[in-house]
Amino acid sequence: MPLNLLKKYPELLELSHYSEIQRTISLRKVFDRDITNNNNFKFRTKTIRPVKKEGLDSMDVLFDHLTKKTIIDDEGKKRRNVFEIDRSRRLHWIKHHIAEIESDILKIFSYEDRTKDRGSVVRTYIYDTKENHVIILEPQRSELDYYLISAYYLNEPGGEKQIKNKYKKRLDEVY
């Protein structure tokens, strides 16, 4: 399990031979190193924080969001409970991209997304054009910090096309 802590971009984390418990422990160690216990987890000087959820540990919610995906069950209800191997194998890429280490392969832009709950929301995208990975940040109202909304591999049908279309319609500045 400690080998995953040594992995660097663009290597993928090794997860397929672990039990569910071992996999979670390994991923949580990477997550805690790169995000939870990283006092310098910032994008362009702004601190990145998890979205707060009433009555829930914000870091646990973020960890689940970065390693699992939402499915619609047989009853038509949305559930975030399915382990997503492609997201999880790239968990350590988040820190790498936030630091803009390989800026020549990144497209960083802001776009006004429409949401069901809050209407229009400006979000900042960090899009790895080489490895088809995207990180979504949302500026806090104070504009002093960011919320980490999501990070995932663009493996769903139409995912890459959607990001490229957002890039074409991007805002003039990065928020």
- pLDDT at position 1 is 59
* Residue whose C-alpha is closest to residue 8's, from 93, 66, 125, 82: 93
Q: Model pTM?
A: 0.92
Strands (DSSP E) found in the chain: 42-43, 46-50, 68-72, 78-83, 106-115, 119-128, 133-139, 146-153
Domain boundaries, the chain: 2-168
Name residues whose C-beta falls within 8 Å of residue 158's C-beta, 6 or more positions apart in sequence: none
Per-residue confidence (pLDDT) for residue 169, from 0 to 100:
97
Extract the residue ranges of the chain whose pLDDT is less than 50. none
What pLDDT does 68 receive? 93
